[in-house]
Each structure stands twice: as C-alpha cells, then as structure tokens.
Structure 1
C-alpha cells in the first residue's frame, strides 16, 4: 500500500448499505465517523482509552478538522484507514493525520488532519498533557510529509 507515512495504525472499514447516500457513494459523514473510530483504536493500542481519559480528567479534543475527499467509494468496498500522530509540542497540542486507501487498487480516497488540544474534561479548558499522555503519545509521533 502507498501510505503517505510509514507504519500507520490501520483500521479496516467497509461501507454498509446505510452508509451510501443519494449519489450512490459513501456519505462524507461516514468518513468522519471512521476517523473517530481509528483515532480511538490507535489511542487504545498506545495504552490510553476513554476510562483513562475520565480518570485523568483530560482529553485530546479536536480543535480543527480538515478532510479532503479525493475519490468516491461504494457499498462493500474494502478500505484501509491509516492514522498517525504527526506533531506535538509535548505540552498542549498534537496533530493526527488520516489516509483512507481502497484495498483493491491502493488508491487514496480521503486524507484527513486533526489539530488536537489537551483539555480538562470538567471545564473544557486547555490544560497541559498529563504524564500518562506524554508517555503513551510522544513516542508514537512520526515525521509526516508537509501538508498540501
């Protein structure tokens, strides 16, 4: 597969009949939902789940999201959604990127990017990442190509 950055965390996905819109391709909102699932799957693989977020009263919240829809997909297409942590200041901010590939031909059908900020869950205000976040996330940060 032609990944933008090596060694992604991969979530296999497949559009179901209910994911298809009136234009007969996967609705864009479905890609957003898949990115959320992939982000959580990656976080859990790195050792942090929702229970940890709640226990620590901290979360990495999406401050900005961008999605580039490049090619349509349809019901039953086998897709691979890769995600990476690509940048961090080690204190408050982090960037997560996504790339969705069609398994049959390796074509990139969507790219996404989230700017994340660590927040205090109770107040919603920005707060420094706790040591547990730094220990799990910082070693996973990779160098990604410059964004378009």
Structure 2
C-alpha cells in the first residue's frame, strides 16, 4: 500500500471488492456505498486505536458526524478491488476532529474519491455536545496528523 499515491502518509486502510449489491442502475458503484465504506473504515480505525462501539457505550460518548463532503472523481465497477484510506487530519483536543478519506482502485492506483468528514463529541444518552473524555484524547490524540489543541 505504501506505493499508492496517498494524500497523506501511513493511512489506516480497509480493502474491499465491489460486489453486485454495490452497483446501481447506471452500472457503477452507487455514491451512497462510498459513504458507507468511509464509515466502515473510520470505525475500523477507531477500533484499532482502542475506541470501539463498546468503549463508546461504556463512556456514554461518541464522535458523531456533523459534516461530510465527498468528491467523486471516477467510477468503480463490479469486481474492482479498492483500498479505502483514512487519517485524522486535525482536532481541537476538546470537542471536534476531522478525518480525510481517499479511495483508490488497486489495479491502476487511481483515486476514485476524496472525502472530508468533521466529527463532534456527544454524550450518547442526551445527544448533546460534550468535551472529549480522557480515553478519546489518549486514543485519538497520537493518530492526529496535525494537532491544534
């Protein structure tokens, strides 16, 4: 994966193959599927950092999406092998963070999608914004590419 033209170094990656259930009436991967793949990759990265769903529930905290922006650059088709990369590119160390996503086709290393998603920490039981708990700071902090707390 290091040979791919990643936007940032050392992405957390998830590999997948486009299946028939990902294809829409235009015979390419449906745009909503790309968003789901980014979500799956973000969860995979969080779990790798020790912050899985069980941890979120135990802490009564979560990083909730507040804004997502996706640039669809090229289509993928059934059978294409893809790699989704993600990075936590910034955070304020208190309430919010931002992830970048990039989806590449393995066969030709072309970037199919770039995404930016902003998250805010919320209390699960109320849905209200809350400061990042110590566990989030310790788990996510070392993974942030540029920190501005």
TM over 0.5: yes
What is the rounded CA distance, in whole Å, between the counterparts of 2:12 and 2:130 in structure 1?
26
- Matching of residue 66 in structure 1 with residue 69 in structure 2: yes
For residue 146 of structure 1, what is the aligned residue in structure 2?
Answer: none
Q: TM-score, normalised by structure 2?
A: 0.95
- Give a deviation string over 1:38-87, Cα, whole Å, max 9, x none: 00000000111000000000000000001110000000100000000000
What is the rounded CA distance, in whole Å, between the counterparts of 1:33 and 1:92 in structure 2?
24
- Give a deviation string over 1:77-108, Cα, whole Å, max 9, x none: 00000000000000001001100001011100
What is the rounded CA distance, in whole Å, between the counterparts of 2:120 and 2:48 in structure 1?
20
- Matching of residue 33 in structure 1 with residue 33 in structure 2: no
Offset at 1:112? Answer: 0.7
What is the rounded CA distance, in whole Å, between the counterparts of 1:142 and 1:107 in structure 2?
23
For residue 144 of structure 2, what is the aligned residue in structure 1?
Answer: 141
What is the rounded CA distance, in whole Å, between the counterparts of 1:88 and 1:9 in structure 2?
17
- Matching of residue 54 in structure 1 with residue 39 in structure 2: no
- Runs of 4+ residues deviating >6 angstroms: none
For residue 4 of structure 1, what is the aligned residue in structure 2?
Answer: 7
- Matching of residue 130 in structure 1 with residue 133 in structure 2: yes
Offset at 1:15? Answer: 1.2
For residue 105 of structure 1, what is the aligned residue in structure 2?
Answer: 108
- Matching of residue 17 in structure 1 with residue 26 in structure 2: no
Q: TM-score, normalised by structure 1?
A: 0.95
Number of residues paired by the alignment? 143
